[in-house]
Amino acid sequence: MSLIDKLKWRYATKKFDHTKKLSAEQLDSLLTAVQLAPSSYGLQSYKVLVVENPEIREKLREAAYGQPQLTEASHVIIFASETTIDEALVAKYVDNIVETRGIDREHIAGFEQTMVGTVDRLSEDQKITWSHKQAYIALGVLLTAAADLGIDACPMEGFQNGKFDEILGLKEKGLTASVIAPIGFRSADDDYSKLAKVRKPKAELFIHI
């Protein structure tokens, strides 16, 4: 199947087959794709939680307006933005660049200053919004990779962020929930899988200049 055929195959899964679990390899491939997602400056100002615990998932389902995917999918992926985006976060990233690429810190002092300047210019709210945007890019990569691997997923923002933060202890971890994606395998009787995709016609969606 081509990538386009796989993107046609994928859909926001409403009903998962709760008896089917991702193998460790499938989960690892998906998480590797998420790890490779691009982000502004490469800062990756978010963390990704992989939730399997059934009791916690029951609570999350309640905080997601009872949506069944929370308990029926194989795993629930939660993208959570960092709440403190500061010079220390930038410095940690710079440490990683220095180590990964084996370069002197002075070589990228200008880059570090640029990043610090960007971060310092933003208000606390703007920082979180910026961080949420990065998390959504990672979500997009997850959805595409899942389609490629024949894994079903449902992107979801229909949940109460504050309650998710509470249930998962995110505040204490310096995080806040951005967006989530239960992943697993579709149930044979999920009627949504049979519906035609509704998308804007290309002539309406694209503007060629």
Ligand X SMILES: Cc1cc2nc3c(=O)[nH]c(=O)nc-3n(C[C@H](O)[C@H](O)[C@H](O)COP(=O)(O)O)c2cc1C
Binding site for ligand X (CB under 6 A): 11-12, 14, 67, 154-158, 179, 197
CB 8 within 8 A of CB 198: no
Q: What CA–CA distance (Å, rounded) separates 55 from 157? A: 21
Nearer to ligand X, 70 or 119 (CB): 70
Nearer to ligand X, 97 or 137 (CB): 137
Closest by Cα among 185, 187, 182, 161 to 71:
182
Q: What CA–CA distance (Å, rounded) separates 102 from 171? A: 34
Give me the least distance between CB of 46 and ligand X, in Å please: 15
Residue sitting closest to ligand X (CB): 158
Q: What CA–CA distance (Å, rounded) separates 142 from 109? A: 32
Give me the least distance between CB of 202 and ligand X, in Å please: 16
Nearer to ligand X, 12 or 56 (CB): 12
Amino acid at 193: S
Give me the least distance between CB of 155 and ligand X, in Å please: 4
Give me the least distance between CB of 179 and ligand X, in Å please: 6
